[in-house]
A and B are shown apart, each in its own frame.
Chain A
Amino acid sequence: MRRAMNVRPGRGGRLLLAIVPFLILAAVYVLGSAERRAANPNDKLLPPVSEMAATTSRMAFEPDKRTGEITLVADTLASLQRLALGLGFATLAGLVLGVALGVLPVVGAGGGALVAVISMIPPMAILPILFIIFGLGELSKVILIVIGVAPPIVRDIAMTVQSIPTEQLVKAQTLGASTWTTIVRVVLPQVLPRLIELVRLQIGPAFLFLIAAEAIASDSGLGYRIFLVRRYLAMDVILPYVAWITLIAFVLDLLLARLARSAFAWAYVGERR
């Protein structure tokens, strides 16, 4: 008998093992839903799959009577725009600041403590300040995402830069590099794979801040819709929306993982399968 840690599933086995937990969860839901329906035909807590499918097709394919827009599409576009702007600015700021902190000792000494303190501010606690300063429009939501997501990226990138062996930086200088060309040709290429990993890890927090901001003050968006229909206990809307958000996040994560492995194959040589 081999040790448990040495038992590796084959290709088919891996796929099967991945699917089984989902099937179990689905089965549990279907059984639970049927059970509650049998006890109370007006139950709203666990709507049957057929009901959710009907609601979803109404939200996703038929234009809303009042606005004339397709609700799910409009909500998704509004949310994705905020998410893309927020994550994009946060990534850019994280990369620039992180590399500066990591490469330049003067910036590291001057900004390191500041970044460490700022990253401890709970972003949700300053949401009211953002609403007061930037109003209730798009800007405050985007800025909330940036404030929530950028500090961890800054700190992690700075640490990644510092983990590049000094030998490499010295070597670059002996090859005639300036600070700038060292950053462009030696530091950046080695930091980018980690940056993609960080964006993957920050998709979750970014959605958290997005939905929180939308729940509090918005007139469109996935988070707005969920919190709107909560008043009517409309689980047949909430559950598909949650599934849709999860799917979006999952696909984003998958795409970024693929991108990192195809663009920076050298960084994943030692990866354990």
Chain B
Amino acid sequence: MSAISVQNVWAEFGDQIVIENLNLEVASGSFLSVVGPSGCGKSTFLRMVLGQDRPSRGTLLLAGKPLPVEPDADRGVVFQRYSVFPHLTVLGNVLLAYELGQSRVLGRLFGAARRRALEKSEELVTAVGLGPHRDKHPSALSGGMQQRLAIAQALAKDPKVLLLDEPFGALDPGTRAQMHALLKPLWERLGMTVIMVTHDLKEAFNLGTRVVAFDKVRHDPQAPGRFGARVTYDLDLTRHGPVPVLGFPKKHAEAAR
């Protein structure tokens, strides 16, 4: 199980309050889209779940246990950029995911263990459609292909939670649609919890089972950092959700499709 529980979490940098008193229960296996204006703490929230940043107050729980305060293999991540390693080939990037976890001294696998890892890596590389490019370095790949590689790399560890920080923000609309078509079935098959931060509302609604919007509720024009963001909208997009989608009752929205 991989339910995430966010309890009274604050994120403060000096006297700058980014997130104030955030409470959020993310069900296991759901796809949570986080939207909101720039600088409202979406990425800070993601980094806290990732373990890269520490909340200044409050607790984060994964399946009832406090989240470790440094990144680990339970939480996979795809950043907008710099997610793949430039010195390794496509296959090497995915293979590294197996090697890092299993070999503590050299970070390399040999013999049968390497063959097994290679097989799994090839499977993943093919699954994200990079089969023909397996021996290229990332510099020879397009932005969309690099993001597909980053997803394959993250999936190699079979993480309980997958965190996506504007993963498709730098891609053109066509490539973005392709990435959506790739990601959704993968998530449905693997059943992990996904949190995706995005600027693209359409993307948030297309992929998510739930959309939350972050924003500042209070504003002090003299001190912009005085108040932080919290959840202002919380929409459940699943069939059984009680919340209407965009003002329509759920059934009508389904029928209109």
Residues on A facing B (Cβ under 8 Å): 165-168, 170-178, 180-182, 184-186, 189-190, 264, 266-267, 269-270
In the assembled complex, B96 has its CB within 8 A of some CB on chain A: yes
- Extra 13 A-B pairs, beta carbons < 8 Å, given A167-B79, A173-B70, A266-B139: A170-B52, A170-B79, A174-B50, A174-B75, A174-B76, A174-B77, A174-B157, A177-B101, A184-B106, A189-B87, A190-B85, A190-B87, A266-B86
Interface residues on B, range: 35 or more
Residue contact A266 to B81, C-beta cutoff 8 Å: no
Complex Cα distance A177/B96, Å?
10
- What are the 8 closest A-B residue pairs judged by CB atoms, nearest first? A176-B101, A181-B107, A165-B82, A173-B71, A176-B73, A167-B82, A185-B107, A177-B100
Task: Give the residues from 66 to 123 in chain B that come closer than 8 angstroms, CB to CB, to chain A.
Answer: 70-73, 75-77, 79, 81-88, 96-97, 99-101, 103-108
Cβ–Cβ < 8 Å partners of B150 in chain A? 171
Is residue B156 within 8 Å, beta carbon to beta carbon, of the partner chain? yes
Inside 8 A of B139's CB, which chain A residues have their CB?
266, 269-270
Alpha-carbon distance A165/B150, docked complex (angstroms): 15
Task: Name 8 A/B residue pairs within 8 A (Cβ), A-sorted.
Answer: A167-B81, A171-B79, A174-B50, A174-B157, A175-B153, A180-B105, A185-B100, A190-B85
Q: Are A266 and B87 in contact (CB under 8 A)?
A: yes
Least CB distance from B102 to A in Å reads 8
Number of A-B contacts (CB under 8 A): 86
- Quick check: is B154 within 8 A (CB to CB) of the other chain? yes
Give chain B residues whose Cβ lies under 8 Å from the Cβ of A186.
85
Bitwise interface map of B from 132 to 151 toward A, beta carbon under 8 Å scored 1, else 0: 00000101100000000010
> If the complex has contacts A170-B71, A171-B79, A174-B154, are A190 and B107 also in contact, measured as CB distance less than 8 A?
no
Interfacial chain A residues near B101, Cβ < 8 Å: 175-177
Residues of B within 8 A of A184 (CB): 106-107
User: B159 at the A/B interface (Cβ < 8 Å)?
Assistant: yes
Least CB distance, B235 to chain A, in whole angstroms: 28
A170 to B86, CA, bound (A): 15
* Residue of B87, B139, B150 ringed by the most chain A CB atoms within 10 A: B87
Contact indicator B140/A269 (Cβ below 8 Å): yes
Closest beta carbon of chain A to B146's beta carbon, Å: 12
Q: What A residues does B154 contact at CB under 8 A?
A: 174
**Chain A minimum-CB-distance residue to B103:** A181
- Among B50, B52, B87, B96, the residue within 8 A (CB) of A175 is B96
Q: Which residues of A contact B81 (CB under 8 A)?
A: 165, 167
CB distance from B163 to the nearest CB of A (A): 8
Q: Which residues on B sit within 8 Å (CB–CB) of A177?
A: 100-101, 107
Q: Which residues of B contact A180 (CB under 8 A)?
A: 104-105, 107
Residues B72 and A174 in contact, CB atoms below 8 Å apart: yes
Contacts of A171 in B (CB 8 A): 77, 79, 83-85, 150, 153
Q: In angstroms, how far is the closest chain A Cβ from the Cβ of B135? A: 12
Cβ of A175: which chain B residues have Cβ within 8 Å of it?
Answer: 73, 96-97, 100-101, 153, 156-157
Residues of A within 8 A of B153 (CB): 171, 175
Which A residues are in CB contact (< 8 Å) with B85? 168, 171, 186, 190
CA distance A174 to B83 in the complex (A): 11
Q: Closest chain B residue to A267 by CB distance?
A: B87
- Do B87 and A167 have beta carbons less than 8 Å apart? no
